[in-house]
Amino acid sequence: MSARLDPAVWPLTARVDDGLLSVGGVRVDDLAREFGTPAYVLDEDDFRTRCRAWRGAFDGGDVYYAGKSFLCLAVVRWLAEEGLSLDVCSGGELAVARAAGFPADRLIFHGNNKSVAELEAALDFGVARVAVDSFEEIDRLGRVAAAVRRRQRVLLRVTPGVEAHTHEYVSTGQEDQKFGFSLASGAALKAVSRVLATPSLALAGVHAHIGSQIFDTAGYGLALHRMVGLLRAVRDAHGVELAELDLGGGLGIAYTSQDAPLAVAEAATRLRVLLDKECSEVSLPVPRLAVEPGRAISGPTTVTLYEVGTVKHLPGLRTYVSVDGGMSDNIRPALYGARYTAALVSRHSDAAQQVVTVVGKHCESGDVVVHDVALPADLRPGDLVAVPASGAYHRSMANNYNHVPRPPVVAVRDGTARVIVRRETLEDLLRLDVEP
List the catalytic residues: 363
C-alpha dihedral, 225 to 226 to 228 to 233, nearest 10°? 150
Q: Does 212 bind ligand PLP (CB under 6 A)?
A: yes
Q: Does 301 bind ligand PLP (CB under 6 A)?
A: no
Binding residue (CB under 6 A) for ligand PLP from 62, 292, 367, 383: 292
Binding residue (CB under 6 A) for ligand PLP from 250, 333, 391, 408: 250
Could you tell me which stretch among 22-30, 186-194, 292-300, 346-354 binds ligand PLP (CB under 6 A)? Answer: 292-300
Interface with ligand PLP: number of residues (CB under 6 A):
16
- Closest distance to ligand PLP from the beta carbon of 358 (Å): 24
Who contacts 393 (Cβ-Cβ below 8 Å, separation ≥6)? 68, 69, 70, 294, 295, 299, 332
Q: Does 390 bind ligand PLP (CB under 6 A)?
A: no
* Torsion angles phi and psi, residue 319, rounded to 5: -110, 125
Q: Does 37 bind ligand PLP (CB under 6 A)?
A: no
Return the residues of window 39-68 that contact ligand PLP according to CB under 6 A. Answer: 66, 68
Q: Order of strands, edge to edge, in the sheet holding 15-17?
A: 15-17, 20-23, 26-27
Binding residue (CB under 6 A) for ligand PLP from 24, 248, 261, 326: 248
Q: Does 293 bind ligand PLP (CB under 6 A)?
A: yes
Q: Does 249 bind ligand PLP (CB under 6 A)?
A: yes
Under 8 Å between Cβ of 159 and 207: no
Query: How far is 203 from 231, CA to CA, in rounded Å?
Result: 12
- Closest distance to ligand PLP from the beta carbon of 246 (Å): 8
Could you tell me which stretch among 27-35, 221-229, 243-251, 376-384 binds ligand PLP (CB under 6 A)? Answer: 243-251
Return the residues of window 100-139 that contact ligand PLP according to CB under 6 A. Answer: 110
HSE-CB of 96 using CA atoms within 13 angstroms: 22
**Amino acid, res. 219:** G
**Pairing state of beta strands 20-23 and 201-207?**
unpaired
Query: How far is 380 from 382, CA to CA, in rounded Å?
Result: 6
Beta strands in 128-252 (DSSP E): 129-132, 152-159, 162-165, 168-171, 181-182, 201-207, 244-246
Q: Does 205 bind ligand PLP (CB under 6 A)?
A: no
- Closest distance to ligand PLP from the beta carbon of 296 (Å): 6
- Closest distance to ligand PLP from the beta carbon of 116 (Å): 21
* Torsion angles phi and psi, residue 186, rounded to 5: 90, -5
Q: Footprint of ligand PLP on this chain (CB under 6 A)?
A: 66, 68-69, 87, 110, 209, 212, 248-250, 292-296, 392
